[in-house]
A and B are shown apart, each in its own frame.
Chain A
Amino acid sequence: MALRPGDEIPPLNVTPDRYLTVRYAGASGDFNPIHVDEEFARQVGLPGRILHGLYSMAQVARAQTDAAGGPEALKRLSVQFRGMGLPEHELTVTGTVREVDDGVAIVETNCEQNGKLIIRNAEAHLRVGDA
Chain B
Amino acid sequence: MAVNAGVIGKTYPATTYAVGREKVREYALAVGETNALYLDVDAARAAGYDDVVAPPMFAVVYSMPAVAQALFDPDVGIDFAHMVHGGQDFEWGPLVVAGDEITTTATISDVTERAGRGFFVFESTSTNQRGETVCVGRWTNIVRSG
What residues of chain A have their CB less than 8 Å away from a CB belonging to chain B?
14, 20, 23-24, 26-30, 32, 44, 53-55, 57-59, 61-62, 65-66, 70-72, 74-81
> Do the beta carbons of A28 and B92 come within 8 Å of each other?
no
Could you say which interface size class chain B belongs to? Answer: 20 to 34
Q: How far is the CA of A26 from the CA of B27 in the complex (A)?
A: 9
Count: A-B pairs, CB below 8 Å = 89
Q: How far is the CA of A124 from the CA of B13 in the complex (A)?
A: 30
B90 smallest CB distance to A (angstroms): 6
Using A20-B30, A76-B91 as known contacts, list a sample of 5 further A-B pairs with CB atoms less than 8 Å apart, ordered by residue number in A.
A26-B26, A54-B60, A71-B35, A77-B56, A78-B89
Q: Considering the complex, which residues of chain B in the window 69-95 have a beta carbon less than 8 Å from any beta carbon of chain A?
A: 80-81, 84-92, 95
> Do the beta carbons of A28 and B61 come within 8 Å of each other?
yes
> Do the beta carbons of A26 and B56 come within 8 Å of each other?
no
A80 smallest CB distance to B (angstroms): 5
Given A78-B88, A80-B86, decide whether A72 and B30 contact each other with a Cβ distance below 8 A.
Answer: no
Interface centre among B23, B32, B35, B61 (most CB of A within 10 A): B32
Closest residue on chain B to residue A64 by CB atoms: B56
Q: How far is the CA of A58 from the CA of B57 in the complex (A)?
A: 6
Q: How far is the CA of A65 from the CA of B38 in the complex (A)?
A: 12
What residues of chain B have their CB less than 8 Å away from a CB belonging to chain A?
23, 26-27, 29-33, 35, 37-38, 53, 55-57, 60-61, 64, 80-81, 84-92, 95, 138
Closest residue on chain B to residue A125 by CB atoms: B91
Q: How far is the CA of A29 from the CA of B89 in the complex (A)?
A: 19
> Do the beta carbons of B84 and A62 come within 8 Å of each other?
no
A79 smallest CB distance to B (angstroms): 6
Given A27-B31, A30-B64, A71-B37, decide whether A58 and B55 contact each other with a Cβ distance below 8 A.
Answer: yes
Interface centre among B57, B60, B80, B90 (most CB of A within 10 A): B57
> Do the beta carbons of B27 and A59 come within 8 Å of each other?
no
Q: How far is the CA of A74 from the CA of B94 in the complex (A)?
A: 10
